[in-house]
Amino acid sequence: MDIATQTINNGAMRVATILAILNNRAANNALLPVTILVAMSVLRYNKYLILWDLHEIVNFE
């Protein structure tokens, strides 16, 4: 895993943790599983999404 991907993953994990804390603090536990699923999806696919974004930026017309 290269440094860029690791940094992105750390950032996404930090955001997921903050969201989980906020959900717990608001006693809004119904959203917690959704938050976790979204966070997992971000961690799994963010590399491809960022590569796609770069592709879009490069090919911007």
Q: What is the pLDDT of residues 12-60, one digit of tens each?
A: 777 777 777 776 665 556 666 777 777 777 766 666 666 666 666 666 6
Domain that includes residue 26, residue range: 3-58
pLDDT at site 59? 67
Say how many domains are in the chain.
Answer: 1
Calculate mean pLDDT across residues 1-14. 72
| Alpha helices per DSSP H over the chain | 3-25, 32-58
Question: Is 20 in contact with 35 (CB distance < 8 Å)?
Answer: yes
This prediction has a pTM of 0.32
CB neighbour burial string for 39-48, b if at least 16 within 10 angstroms, e if fewer:
beebeeeeee
pLDDT at position 54, please?
62
Phi/psi region, residue 27 (left: phi>0; alpha: psi -120 to 50; beta: rest), is left
